[in-house]
Homo-oligomer: A and B are copies of this chain.
Amino acid sequence: MGSTVPDVLHPFDPLTLGEIEAAIAIVKKAHGNVFFNVVSLQEPRKAEMTAWLAAPETAPRPKRIADVVVIAPGGKVYDGLVDLAEGKITKWDLLDGEQPIITMEELQLVEHIVRKDPKVIEQCILSGVAPEDMHKVYCDPWTIGYDERYGSSVRLQQALMYYRPDVDNCQYQYPLDFCPIYDADKREIIAIDIPKVRRPLSKAPSQDYHPAAVEARGGYRTDLKAINITQPEGVSFTITGREIEWQNWKFHIGFNYREGIVLNNITFNDKGTIRPIFYRLSLAEMVVPYGNPERPHQRKHALDQGEYGAGYMTNSLSLGCDCKGSIHYLDAHFPSRSGELRTIKNAICIHEEDAGILFKHTDFRDESVIVTRGRKLIIQQIFTAANYEYVVAWVFHQDGTIAPEIKLTGILNTYAMNDDEDTHGWGTQVFPGVNAHNHQHLFCLRIDANVDGSDNTVFVSDAVPSAAPVGSEENYYGNGFYNRRTKLETTAQAKTDYDGTTTRTWEIANTNKLNPYSKKPVSYKLVSREVPGLLPKEGSLVWKRAPFARHAVHVTPYQDDQLYPAGKHVPQTSGDSPLGITTWIGDGTANIANTDLVFWHTFGVTHFPAPEDFPVMPAEGMMLLLRPRNFFAGNPVMDVPPSYCSVPSLVGGGKEGFKGVVDGVSRLAFGEVNGSCCKK
């Protein structure tokens, strides 16, 4: 298994450094010095791309187009396209009252300005910060979200304020109670939100997680012995450019500023037939609403991907720390604000893990047995959104299952509280003087479906009892139950919610192709159980701004560029007029049956903080499954070599079974006497 770099770019490849540089030069030449907000691949038009994928030798190769967003002097925002082959700008639209994504560089500026602002200094002093200690004041700058007092024409941030007695202290232990508002064009503080009840700076001794603090508390535990994971024969995947092949899977691994990892053209080699499954998979948006209704906390509802970008915020990963074993990394390239280049090394980690038992069966008669171990492939990134970290893993299994998995770690967003203060149930005191507010993390999985072809249909699938009563002829003993499948015909019908009482799933099916045995349409089923629903109410600010989160599932007919369900430019939207997915749903009559469709699924967790989450949170995970159902004609992993298999004819003859992938390195923990590896 190896890695090769082809001579020519794949149309799904992110822009290279050279392409970003070229796009910047073209824009600069035409429009002078501007701030570069986005320079990213405009993904090929699907019709063109599909034609090319079907016949790469003969069909025209889709053009390389850069999607460009800039902020010109005076805060003017332009949305443009650059044709890289032609070297020309093909679109250059001035936006009206829209704010593009906030870059890390913009965020970095705020703290410096906050520290020097006289009114902020005044508030700091009022809070108990010594005037000479302003360098110990920090802020997490967030987009303002939406504040009706200011609207969306001025680019604003809110500065969530903290203090560090020592530079190495975790600042979230020392929140300040006021909130400066920053104008990004003027680079100044234009207002400060000050609460009615004041909460002076906490004097509690710190409880940090860094080595010096742990040493002072008695040091690290010493009873954890190393686990080594090695692949002496190499890895089981092959990479060509950014296309990966592994265990019958093949797909392209893209990456952009917004969604981070994007997987395209996911296919499965079913005994020689390359079967398409998904045209594109990504996390398209997220929202983290906080549940404290007191002003100005309603503004805490980060749409992190649209407001800051899961690509822009992604971590440079470390071998052996973020991921163990035999790892392949891919880098990410972005423009800097001024038009330089920025590379995030090791933005994506690709590796395999043992997945435990893939299947096993023992015949109770003679103990003839088969046991086969599974393997999984993990495509992973980690991004830091101010206090939180999100570990996003796309996990592929040999049996055709894709399991997107998200782990939350990092630090709670915190607010100041007084000793005797009642949190009114909107938050929890996790440390003296620290109120961590209730919140949700809701993610929107975008599935551009391609199950055995582009014409797909979604069914809601419920497990329900027979309607016939106990004692009736049809259901005498009362045990009848079945799978009720409801076809979704229109975008209005497709607004569906999770139902725990029927352990609801959704099937993305191709009704034009039936399984040879079950005679049911080939399908992929979404199994998702962490579906809390949006707790902010209908008509609330969050409900308006994050329309994708109103239902667990939406389905829309495919259209190019309908990628971001809270709108392309998310900061400071009010949600008062339709945006993103609400515009694509339209009047609800559009057909979504047996057509090229996009399936949107919002899932996540509701988090009521507790002290064990502080000062840094042990990772909390959630996973969902995209499982083949009636897709294959049989178990697709029977040809994975078993660890051991004996059959009745051998057992009967007293013979040894088949040793497949014998694990010669597993050992007894304490060197006791035991049978040899695998079956006696």
From B138, B217, B297, B635, give the contact of A617 (CB < 8 A).
B635
For residue A275, CB closer than 8 A to chain B, the reply is: no
Q: Which of A375-418 contact B (CB under 8 A)?
A: 375, 382, 384, 386-387, 389, 391, 397-401, 407, 409-411
Is the CB–CB distance between B389 and A360 below 8 Å? yes
Contact with B along A647-662 (1 / 0, CB 8 A): 1110010000010111
Q: How far is the CA of A480 from the CA of B2 in the complex (A)?
A: 53
Is the CB–CB distance between A540 and B301 below 8 Å? no
Q: How far is the CA of A397 from the CA of B327 in the complex (A)?
A: 25
Q: Which of A483-521 contact B (CB under 8 A)?
A: 483, 497-501, 503, 515-520
Is the CB–CB distance between B168 and A295 below 8 Å? no
Is the CB–CB distance between A371 and B633 below 8 Å? no
Q: Which of A634-648 contact B (CB under 8 A)?
A: 634-645, 647-648
For residue A184, CB closer than 8 A to chain B, the reply is: no
List residues of chain B with CB within 8 A of the CB of A150.
none
Min CB gap A534→B, angstroms: 9
Is the CB–CB distance between B431 and A481 below 8 Å? no
Min CB gap A237→B, angstroms: 8
Is the CB–CB distance between A669 and B350 below 8 Å? yes
Q: How far is the CA of A35 from the CA of B72 in the complex (A)?
A: 90
Is the CB–CB distance between B677 and A518 below 8 Å? no
Main secondary structure of the interface of A (DSSP, over half): loop
Is the CB–CB distance between A520 and B357 below 8 Å? no
Q: How far is the CA of A294 from the CA of B354 in the complex (A)?
A: 42
Known: A365-B108, A678-B320. A539 touches B619 (CB 8 A): no
Known: A536-B478, A614-B634, A631-B612. A639 touches B219 (CB 8 A): yes
Is the CB–CB distance between B428 and A520 below 8 Å? yes
Which residue, A230, A292, A329, has most C-beta atoms of chain B within 10 A? A230
For residue A235, CB closer than 8 A to chain B, the reply is: yes
Is the CB–CB distance between A649 and B167 below 8 Å? yes
List residues of chain B with CB within 8 A of the CB of A365.
108, 111, 138
Is the CB–CB distance between A326 and B293 below 8 Å? no
List residues of chain B with CB within 8 A of the CB of A233.
225-226
Is the CB–CB distance between A610 and B630 below 8 Å? yes
Is the CB–CB distance between B235 and A357 below 8 Å? no
Q: Whose C-beta in chain B lies nearest to the C-beta of A539? A: B470
Which residue, A328, A365, A670, has most C-beta atoms of chain B within 10 A? A670
List residues of chain B with CB within 8 A of the CB of A628.
610, 612
Q: Whose C-beta in chain B lies nearest to the C-beta of A313? A: B364
Known: A320-B677, A679-B318. A224 touches B410 (CB 8 A): no
List residues of chain B with CB within 8 A of the CB of A1.
223, 225
Is the CB–CB distance between B479 and A619 below 8 Å? no
Min CB gap A466→B, angstroms: 6
Min CB gap A670→B, angstroms: 4
Is the CB–CB distance between A475 and B319 below 8 Å? no
For residue A6, CB closer than 8 A to chain B, the reply is: no
Known: A209-B635, A233-B226, A668-B326. A321 touches B371 (CB 8 A): yes
Is the CB–CB distance between B409 and A634 below 8 Å? no
Q: How far is the CA of A530 from the CA of B346 in the complex (A)?
A: 36
Min CB gap A453→B, angstroms: 19
Q: Which of A285-299 contact B (CB under 8 A)?
A: 289-293, 295, 297-298
Known: A209-B370, A517-B430, A611-B515. A670 touches B3 (CB 8 A): yes
Q: Whose C-beta in chain B lies nearest to the C-beta of A436? A: B518
Is the CB–CB distance between B324 and A167 below 8 Å? no
From B2, B138, B225, B662, give the contact of A236 (CB < 8 A).
B225
Contact with B along A223-243 (1 / 0, CB 8 A): 111111111111111010000
Is the CB–CB distance between B328 and A669 below 8 Å? yes
Q: Whose C-beta in chain B lies nearest to the C-beta of A104? A: B364
Q: Whose C-beta in chain B lies nearest to the C-beta of A328? A: B669
Is the CB–CB distance between B361 and A616 below 8 Å? yes
Is the CB–CB distance between B638 and A214 below 8 Å? yes
Q: How far is the CA of A426 from the CA of B466 in the complex (A)?
A: 9
Q: How far is the CA of A665 from the CA of B320 in the complex (A)?
A: 8
From B354, B532, B540, B632, give the contact of A470 (CB < 8 A).
B540
Which residue, A319, A407, A434, A542, has most C-beta atoms of chain B within 10 A? A319
From B221, B315, B374, give the contact of A247 (CB < 8 A).
B221
From B319, B401, B642, B648, give the contact of A674 (CB < 8 A).
B319
Q: How far is the CA of A293 from the CA of B8 in the complex (A)?
A: 61
Is the CB–CB distance between A438 and B167 below 8 Å? no
List residues of chain B with CB within 8 A of the CB of A614.
634-635
Is the CB–CB distance between A362 and B629 below 8 Å? no
List residues of chain B with CB within 8 A of the CB of A324.
354, 373, 663, 666
List residues of chain B with CB within 8 A of the CB of A228.
228-232, 663, 665
Is the CB–CB distance between A635 and B660 below 8 Å? no
From B239, B295, B386, B612, give the contact of A632 (CB < 8 A).
B612
Min CB gap A518→B, angstroms: 5
Known: A519-B429, A634-B611, A670-B328. A231 touches B226 (CB 8 A): yes
List residues of chain B with CB within 8 A of the CB of A615.
634-635, 638
Known: A350-B669, A359-B409, A678-B319. A364 touches B648 (CB 8 A): no
A/B interface sample: 15 pairs, CB < 8 A:
A211-B660, A223-B247, A224-B641, A227-B325, A234-B669, A239-B670, A291-B481, A319-B675, A320-B678, A325-B666, A362-B389, A428-B520, A498-B500, A611-B633, A617-B635
Q: Which 4 A-B pairs have the closest CB atoms?
A: A500-B500, A478-B540, A320-B663, A293-B480
